[in-house]
A and B are shown apart, each in its own frame.
Chain A
Amino acid sequence: MNRWLWIILIALGLVAPYVLYPVFVMKLLCFALFACAFNLLLGYTGLLSFGHAAFFGAAAYAAGHSIKVWGFPTELGILTGTLVACLLGVVFGKLAIRRQGIYFAMVTLALAQIVYFVALKSSFTGGEDGLQGVPRGRLLGFIDLNDSLNMYYFVLAIFLFGFWLIARIVDSPFGQVLKAIRENEPRALSLGYDVSRFKLIAFVLSATLSGLAGATKAVVFQFASLTDVNWATSGEVVLMTLVGGVGTITGPMVGAFTVVSLHSRLSWMGSWVTVIVGITFIVCVLVFRRGIVGELQELLRRLRGRPTRARPAAAAQPQATKREA
């Protein structure tokens, strides 16, 4: 990816806590990572999951529980949460991956509701109260994470790693196959690519990275709650990705910043925030169909005089087995 983008991103990341509240920026980063992980699936694999909160939330609970109750060091706790999301991703993926389109979304939603139900009824999650009082602990045993700047730079490092990995996956030989599948699934299959396997791996990677975001969030805020596994959170991440620009590398990040900022700026309006965010979403979908970053890229391309390259993510695939008369 573009070297300048990295330099700008790192520079902004380094100065941000001196301009904005560190806790607020950490929240931005956690949701940005979550949205980027989600986009790996929607934008780069062409699968719409409506159950991603399950990975985010389960990882948050697992990280919180292992740190608070089992006394795991912070970094190991985050790793535990991430691993739980990964395993959950394997289970969800195996059950959902062969379904197409809306059926895929419905299966993921149904499975996520099971996770929500378990979180609601179990004792270790604290039910309606949530899992409170997770200690931030010390990174590597000596860096005190109760210091908000220490915590911030740790979160920034996690975010940058996750973001780098996603960019790498998209660019890798594996990412090329995902692109080929999105462009023409029957052809990819006829060349010998085991399409379901590639989709499953993409799904598990997306779940794992969503888990990393959720686990980190639990440490930052020192709690995990039902909101983290709720279907509304699954919806929120779809929204962030679409607002920012599905299938663009930086779009979901911009989308997450936009949505989280709207929420916090307008928090005085109470539940009206939901309405405002909803309207923003509708406007985005109607006016900027490619999302903020997608539209900017299109504008740049036009200014340079190149032809349009429309590439909707979930475009209908030609059906090889259908009648081809």
Chain B
Amino acid sequence: MEGEYILVTSGLVREFKGFVAVDHVDLRVRRGSIHALIGPNGAGKTTVFNLLTKFLPPTRGQIIYNGNDITRHSPAQVAKLGMIRSFQISSVFPHMTALENVRMGLQARHGGSLRFWRSGKTLHSLHGQALELLRAVGLEEFADVAAVELPYGRKRALEIATTLALDPELLLLDEPTQGMGAEDVGAITELLKRVAVGRTVLMVEHNLGVVGRLADRITVLQRGRVLAEGNYAEVSTNPDVITAYMGGAAHA
């Protein structure tokens, strides 16, 4: 279990009606690191996330998580093993309050969710923990506000708090700063730096500033294939990567 790599994929392929969106991707994510997955729009980054979390079955290839083959697992099983994803578009429970959102994460971890005969009041015991998580992402004062009413940056923070409620071992973040103003980007970057302590993070990110500040290692995807891999200095000076980014949209 305690291998050097928490997540290893080999020969991962996903085709959509003959179109190869993910093409023989071999990924190694080092335990405890922040690993960034970058590449132009349509490179297949989100599809890789969907494969890893079993939202899509791979056409070919294998996924090993913590030494276990999870290639045929279900999304819920993968989550139970400690791999939790976020989505590219902000993904909250819109008509639940911020507190209730985070509580959904806590409830998933604590179990007992099938008990349809229990009073909803039994969930109040989770409120202390929920508030603590909201405090950690600076949302304490919004505890009773419906998620739909929060501004965009705060929605993303709420999403992170909900994810953290599960105390994930591996966090998959799909473009956590997408569509944010400079101020929010800075805040989320700081937040991610803090929450990454003691965990592994695999993140898709377009903002190269954020990638440079956070990532220990970077994999560049292009048209479903791995184009380059290395640390920021290596990747940013790689001629192939420079060409790809000139050709594709750097900040799409």
Residue numbers of A with Cβ under 8 A of B are 165, 168-169, 171-177, 179-180, 183-184, 186-195, 197-198, 201, 205, 309, 311, 318, 320-321, 324-325
Q: In the complex, A320→B55 CA distance in Å?
A: 8
Interface residues of B in 145-171 (CB under 8 A from A): 146, 162-163, 166
Total contacts A-B at CB 8 Å: 118
Taking a contact as CB atoms under 8 Å apart, the answer to whether B42 and A320 are in contact is no
Stretch at the interface among B2-10, B89-97, B190-198: B89-97
Taking a contact as CB atoms under 8 Å apart, the answer to whether B104 and A188 are in contact is yes
Taking a contact as CB atoms under 8 Å apart, the answer to whether A192 and B80 are in contact is yes
Taking a contact as CB atoms under 8 Å apart, the answer to whether A311 and B120 are in contact is no
Among A171, A183, A205, A325, contact of B94 (Cβ-Cβ < 8 Å): A183
Taking a contact as CB atoms under 8 Å apart, the answer to whether A189 and B114 are in contact is no
Taking a contact as CB atoms under 8 Å apart, the answer to whether A172 and B91 are in contact is no
B100-128 interface mask toward A, CB cutoff 8 Å, 1 = contact, 0 = none?
A: 10011101110011111111101100000
Question: B76 on the interface (CB 8 Å rule)?
Answer: yes
Among B100, B105, B116, contact of A174 (Cβ-Cβ < 8 Å): B116
Taking a contact as CB atoms under 8 Å apart, the answer to whether A172 and B120 are in contact is yes
Chain B positions within 8 Å of A176 at CB level: 100, 103-104, 107, 113, 120, 123
Taking a contact as CB atoms under 8 Å apart, the answer to whether A324 and B116 are in contact is no
Q: How far is the CB of A313 from chain B (nearest CB, A)?
A: 12
Q: In the complex, A171→B53 CA distance in Å?
A: 30
Q: In the complex, A297→B87 CA distance in Å?
A: 34
Q: In the complex, A106→B74 CA distance in Å?
A: 26
Please name 23 pairs of A and B residues whose Cβ atoms are closer than 8 Å in the assembled complex, sorted by A. Answer: A168-B119, A169-B117, A172-B115, A172-B117, A172-B118, A172-B119, A173-B120, A173-B122, A175-B120, A176-B100, A180-B93, A183-B94, A184-B92, A184-B93, A190-B84, A193-B76, A194-B76, A197-B114, A198-B114, A309-B95, A311-B95, A320-B50, A320-B87
Q: In the complex, A197→B93 CA distance in Å?
A: 20
Taking a contact as CB atoms under 8 Å apart, the answer to whether B115 and A174 are in contact is yes
Known: A190-B84, A318-B87. 17 other contacts (CB 8 A): A173-B118, A173-B123, A174-B115, A176-B107, A176-B120, A179-B93, A190-B87, A190-B91, A191-B104, A191-B163, A192-B109, A194-B74, A198-B113, A201-B114, A205-B116, A320-B50, A324-B88
Question: B85 on the interface (CB 8 Å rule)?
Answer: yes
Chain A positions within 8 Å of B123 at CB level: 173, 176
Taking a contact as CB atoms under 8 Å apart, the answer to whether B91 and A318 are in contact is yes
Q: How far is the CB of A275 from chain B (nearest CB, A)?
A: 38
Question: B75 on the interface (CB 8 Å rule)?
Answer: yes
Q: Known contacts being A180-B104, A190-B79, is A175 close to B41, with CB within 8 Å?
A: no
Question: B56 on the interface (CB 8 Å rule)?
Answer: yes
Q: From A40, which residue of chain B is reached at the shortest CB distance?
A: B116
Q: In the complex, A165→B118 CA distance in Å?
A: 10
Q: Known contacts being A174-B113, A325-B41, is A191 close to B105, with CB within 8 Å?
A: yes
Taking a contact as CB atoms under 8 Å apart, the answer to whether A180 and B96 are in contact is yes
Q: From A307, which residue of chain B is reached at the shortest CB distance?
A: B149
Taking a contact as CB atoms under 8 Å apart, the answer to whether A186 and B104 are in contact is no
Q: In the complex, A256→B86 CA distance in Å?
A: 42
Taking a contact as CB atoms under 8 Å apart, the answer to whether B113 and A193 are in contact is yes
Q: In the complex, A173→B108 CA distance in Å?
A: 10
Chain B positions within 8 Å of A191 at CB level: 79, 84, 104-105, 108, 162-163, 166
Chain B positions within 8 Å of A169 at CB level: 116-117
Taking a contact as CB atoms under 8 Å apart, the answer to whether A318 and B89 are in contact is yes
Taking a contact as CB atoms under 8 Å apart, the answer to whether B92 and A187 are in contact is yes
- The 5 tightest CB contacts between A and B, nearest first, are A192-B79, A174-B116, A171-B120, A194-B76, A183-B93
Chain A positions within 8 Å of B53 at CB level: 190
Chain A positions within 8 Å of B92 at CB level: 184, 187
Question: B33 on the interface (CB 8 Å rule)?
Answer: no
Question: B222 on the interface (CB 8 Å rule)?
Answer: no
Q: In the complex, A311→B109 CA distance in Å?
A: 27
Question: B62 on the interface (CB 8 Å rule)?
Answer: no
Interface residues of B in 168-206 (CB under 8 A from A): none
Chain B positions within 8 Å of A205 at CB level: 116
Chain A positions within 8 Å of B71 at CB level: none
Q: In the complex, A171→B93 CA distance in Å?
A: 17
Taking a contact as CB atoms under 8 Å apart, the answer to whether B88 and A173 are in contact is no
Q: How far is the CB of A195 from chain B (nearest CB, A)?
A: 7
Q: In the complex, A165→B117 CA distance in Å?
A: 8
Taking a contact as CB atoms under 8 Å apart, the answer to whether B119 and A184 are in contact is no
Q: How far is the CB of B122 from chain A (nearest CB, A)?
A: 6
Q: How far is the CB of B49 from chain A (nearest CB, A)?
A: 9
Q: In the complex, A193→B146 CA distance in Å?
A: 22
Question: B46 on the interface (CB 8 Å rule)?
Answer: yes
Among A172, A186, A193, contact of B87 (Cβ-Cβ < 8 Å): A186
Q: In the complex, A165→B56 CA distance in Å?
A: 37
Q: In the complex, A201→B100 CA distance in Å?
A: 22
Q: How far is the CB of A319 from chain B (nearest CB, A)?
A: 10
Q: How far is the CB of A316 from chain B (nearest CB, A)?
A: 13
Chain A positions within 8 Å of B114 at CB level: 174, 197-198, 201
